[in-house]
Structure 1
Amino acid sequence: MDLQENLIKDRDTFIEENKKFIYNVTFSICKKKLQWENDDELSVALIAFNNACNSYVETRGNFFSYAKVLIKNALIDYFRKNSNKYQLSFGEENEELKDAFLKNSLTEYEIKQENLKRSEEIKVLSEELKRYNVSFKDLVNNSPSHKDTRDKLLDVSFACSKDSSILNYIHKYKKLPVKQICITIGCNRKFIEQWRRYILSLIIIISNESYYYITSYLNIKVGDKNGK
């Protein structure tokens, strides 16, 4: 039985067999011994792992890299939401994190964790983009410099990300359906061709909720105009 079949047909067994993985990822964040029966962190991580099982598709790269990102995101969100009352038993080697929590001042810690989460997301995205012959470096280095162009490309990408037929074509053929986009969205073909890789990358990012910090890094925002 392959991975995809395990995720669908035998979820409980698959999760049970990977509880060590879930524990290790959780421990790498919390830096303390944990018990399945008593620690909320492991419950948060277990739910995140199950969410990874629900949302994973092969185009998102290695499953365990993807699951690791979701677990880390869920744990950091949990720490943030419980920052006023949350107490961690850090060892001496983790005094910096201990002080951050005890003083109820997570600013520096949050910055470090957000950088870590963004780095993990970039790894997952880079693997996914390889399947489309696009690199993350291409996306960053070839971003449009003019705001009007960026806004227009975002409009196109958001519209495409909401069109199931366009998304299905992209996932199946690993390229943009340029003609279909021109007809459906009403865009100039030359414009789409010029920014083909950038649009393709944006659609992949926008249509995947786990790329939260990359979205922030690239200043992709769903405002009144794009979020309608």
Structure 2
Amino acid sequence: MNINERVETAKFDLNERENLIREYTPFIIKQLSNFLNKYIDDKNSDELSIGLMAFNEAIEFYDYGKGSFLNFSTMLIKRRVIDYLRKNYSENTIPIEMYCENKDDYESENRMLEMISFKSLLSLYNITIKDLVKESPKHKDTREIALKIAQTICNSEKLLKYLKIKKVIPIKEIVKILNINKKTIERHRKYIIALVIIISEDLPILKQYLNIESEVPQV
């Protein structure tokens, strides 16, 4: 049975439900970590407790005819985390638009939540969606070069870690590896960083737009 079929069984079989929750705890931790952009303690944390309860809730309310269970559970995990943050922190901590109400379209809500995560990750580098619209390369060959640079960074644990810690592109190393003009990297810095985020983070919907499937080091 696939996961969707197992969930249908788990609605009425407590043992199967417990098995699913145990097996997918790493998945739950990954969703929490990516959405909150921080390490999640797998032994004892409020966030993990919320994630586990949300996953259990997803099993309870999942509708087999409305799409992927994992997409639905991801949406519900993020929604419950947002509820938690809004209740326990200031009203300005989590934008009100982050909370979605369209329960009939799991895929649509997941796209919205993924875009919210993307915006949050961009903000770590002081980049906005407007910046990307304004500064994205106009020519196909330039976009291809930018993607090649981003993939080079993502394929190197050292370069990826440098970018995430320093919040700047390791230009000298990229120039050496790809023999690319330094100004090309500087001119398209924000676009390249956005590509790195899409490739290296858990953003499957945005990856589809780039036709990127490869796994990269996680740091």
TM-score (norm 2): 0.56
Determine helix, strand or coil for the equivalent of 1:160: helix
* 1:212 partner amino acid: P
Gap change, CA 1:204 and 1:77, over 3 Å in 2 = farther
In structure 1, the residue matched to 2:119 is: 126
Residue 221 (1) aligns with residue 197 (2) = no
Q: 2:182 aligns with which of 189, 194, 201?
A: 189
In structure 1, the residue matched to 2:140 is: 147
Contact 1:59/1:131 (CA < 8 Å) preserved in 2?
Answer: no
Structure 2: 5+ residue stretches without partners: 1-6, 41-46, 70-101
Gap change, CA 1:177 and 1:58, over 3 Å in 2 = farther
Aligned pairs for 1:69-80 within 5 A: 80=67
Q: 1:37 aligns with which of 14, 17, 41?
A: 14
How many residues are treated as equivalent by the alignment? 161
Determine helix, strand or coil for the equivalent of 1:175: coil
Gap change, CA 1:126 and 1:61, over 3 Å in 2 = farther
Contact 2:199/2:212 (CA < 8 Å) preserved in 1?
Answer: no
Gap change, CA 1:126 and 1:214, over 3 Å in 2 = same
Residue 51 (1) aligns with residue 27 (2) = yes
Structure 1: 5+ residue stretches without partners: 1-29, 83-108
Give the RMSD, CA atoms, in angstroms. 4.4
In structure 2, the residue matched to 1:171 is: 164
In structure 1, the residue matched to 2:3 is: none
Gap change, CA 1:118 and 1:58, over 3 Å in 2 = closer
CA-to-partner distance for each residue in 1:83-110, whole Å, 9 max, x for gaps? Answer: xxxxxxxxxxxxxxxxxxxxxxxxxx9x
Contact 1:60/1:125 (CA < 8 Å) preserved in 2?
Answer: no
TM-score (norm 1): 0.54
Residue 158 (1) aligns with residue 148 (2) = no
In structure 1, the residue matched to 2:37 is: 60
Distance 2:39 2:116 in 1: 10
Determine helix, strand or coil for the equivalent of 1:182: helix
